[in-house]
Amino acid sequence: MASNNFIDYVKICCRSGRGGAGSAHMFRSKGRPLGGPDGGDGGRGGHIILRGNKQLWTLLHLQYKKHVIAGHGVPGSGGLCTGAEGDDVILDVPLGTIARDAETGEIRAEITEDGQEIILTPGGRGGWGNDHFKSATNQAPTYAQPGEPGQEVWNVLELKLLADVGLVGFPNAGKSTLLSVVSAATPKIADYAFTTLVPNLGVVGYRDYQSFVMADIPGIIEGAAEGKGLGLRFLKHIERNATLLFMIAADSPDIAAEYQVLLSELEQFNPDLLDKRRVLAITKADMLDEELEAEIEATLPADVPHVFISSITQKNIQQLKDLLWQQIQDARREDPKPLRHSIWAQKRADDDADEDEFDDEEVSEDQLD
């Protein structure tokens, strides 16, 4: 994934089409001088429609699209002819896109499924022709309705990735390395802080050709809620994840304290994040001997399942997957809907059949430096 092409926020002015006016036409023909009203209705104005597209994973294609304008409806005409509808504009967006009114912040649409269509800005209704208004006391109305005007609304489209597991940790904890080892993703990895600047997604192959989606987001540091480091803006991408995998390096001076810092930053961003299922991974465990591991284990928080892993030696990677899978299944049982439509899951489910040896994949030297 080209990292600088990840756009998760765009603001667009949407102008829907005006409805066509109804016609006030009177029927006339030889032998029927008083033919009566036969004005047709105007066509409705064009809608602006959001459509889910699982092939997309960013809003990049909308970045420079500031105005979207739908067509106007055509007025009705004599002979009870209804005017044509205005042309709709369809905006394809990735799954997980939310549309808000830019002024009020009100959520107008949320796209979670491929092919799902939601009218974001409805076109104006077409006016009724005079035929609708004839009655016993007014058999030849000369009145017809004008078309309804269209709407002009500034909308914000925001993408919140739909993944099953979100990686949370300080910079350099080894998040991207883990993603590169368990999935086919190739995130940038280096031994300096903030290597990852935009989220990366990877599909993790699991036993029996199953898979789940993991999202690697930029590292969080103490004070991120006040804007330190890259801030918390990327945390929105784990808001809809079923499970959070906290990752803390084994060489951290105080693992329990670091865990608390991460929790409190998450809470400041959105307290609901604390209701999610959590797993704690102590990374880089290849640097520990058994004695040290036991010593660290005694200090770990009791309220969260933990596992010592090493992405480099593959230590406990399968155990970690088992643990995550179990949590994902539990979460899906509780709330089956939102995570079923993961962006890549569908695509990779087909590919997975060819990848039996996926779990045993060796980490290549290139991936690690």
Ligand X SMILES: Nc1nc2c(ncn2[C@@H]2O[C@H](COP(=O)(O)OP(=O)(O)OP(=O)(O)O)[C@@H](O)[C@H]2O)c(=O)[nH]1
Residue 63 to residue 169: CA distance in whole angstroms = 30
Query: Which CB atom, from 82 or from 176, has the smaller least distance to Mg ion?
Result: 176
Check whether 284 is labelled as a binding-site residue: yes
Residues in region 195-214 near Mg ion by CB under 5 A: 195-196
Residue 162 to residue 201: CA distance in whole angstroms = 10
Binding residues (CB under 6 A) for ligand X: these are: 169, 171-177, 189-191, 193-196, 218-219, 283-284, 286-287, 310-312, 368
Q: Which helix (H) or strand (E) holds 177?
A: helix 175-182
Minimal distance, residue 365 CB to ligand X, in Å: 11
Minimal distance, residue 197 CB to Mg ion, in Å: 9
The backbone region for 36, taken as left when phi is positive above 0, alpha when psi lies in -120 to 50, beta otherwise, is left
Check whether 187 is labelled as a binding-site residue: no
Residue 241 to residue 327: CA distance in whole angstroms = 11
Check whether 310 is labelled as a binding-site residue: yes
Query: Which CB atom, from 54 or from 315, has the smaller least distance to ligand X?
Result: 315
Residue number with the shortest CB distance to ligand X? 219
Minimal distance, residue 181 CB to ligand X, in Å: 8
Q: Which does 118 bind (CB under 5 to 8 A by kind): Mg ion, ligand X, none?
A: none
Within 10 angstroms of residue 9's Cβ, the number of other Cβ atoms is 12
Amino acid at 358: F
174, 279 Cβ separation under 8 angstroms: no
Q: Which does 183 bind (CB under 5 to 8 A by kind): ligand X, Mg ion, none?
A: none
3, 197 Cβ separation under 8 angstroms: yes
Listed in sequence order, the residues at least 6 apart from 292 whose beta carbon sits closer than 8 Å to its beta carbon are 250
Query: Which CB atom, from 334 or from 369, has the smaller least distance to ligand X?
Result: 369
Q: Which does 92 bind (CB under 5 to 8 A by kind): Mg ion, ligand X, none?
A: none
Residue 92 to residue 223: CA distance in whole angstroms = 37
Check whether 217 is labelled as a binding-site residue: yes
Query: Which CB atom, from 35 or from 171, has the smaller least distance to Mg ion?
Result: 171
- Nearest CA to 215 out of 248, 178, 261, 266 is that of 178
Minimal distance, residue 230 CB to Mg ion, in Å: 11
Q: Which helix (H) or strand (E) holds 322?
A: helix 317-334
Listed in sequence order, the residues at least 6 apart from 350 whose beta carbon sits closer than 8 Å to its beta carbon are none
Check whether 173 is labelled as a binding-site residue: yes
Minimal distance, residue 237 CB to ligand X, in Å: 14
Minimal distance, residue 196 CB to ligand X, in Å: 3
Residues in region 159-188 near Mg ion by CB under 5 A: 176
308, 315 Cβ separation under 8 angstroms: yes
Contacting range for Mg ion; rule: CB under 5 A; set: 112-120, 148-156, 192-200, 293-301: 192-200
Check whether 169 is labelled as a binding-site residue: yes
Q: Which does 194 bind (CB under 5 to 8 A by kind): Mg ion, ligand X, none?
A: ligand X
Listed in sequence order, the residues at least 6 apart from 21 whose beta carbon sits closer than 8 Å to its beta carbon are 42, 75, 76, 126, 127, 144, 145, 146, 147
Check whether 196 is labelled as a binding-site residue: yes
Residue 311 to residue 247: CA distance in whole angstroms = 12
Size of site (CB under 5 A) for Mg ion: 3
Minimal distance, residue 175 CB to Mg ion, in Å: 5
Catalog residues that contact Mg ion under the rule CB under 5 A.
176, 195-196
User: Annotated binding site for Mg(2+): which residue ranges?
Assistant: 176, 196
User: Annotated binding site for GTP: which residue ranges?
Assistant: 169-176, 194-198, 216-219, 283-286, 310-312
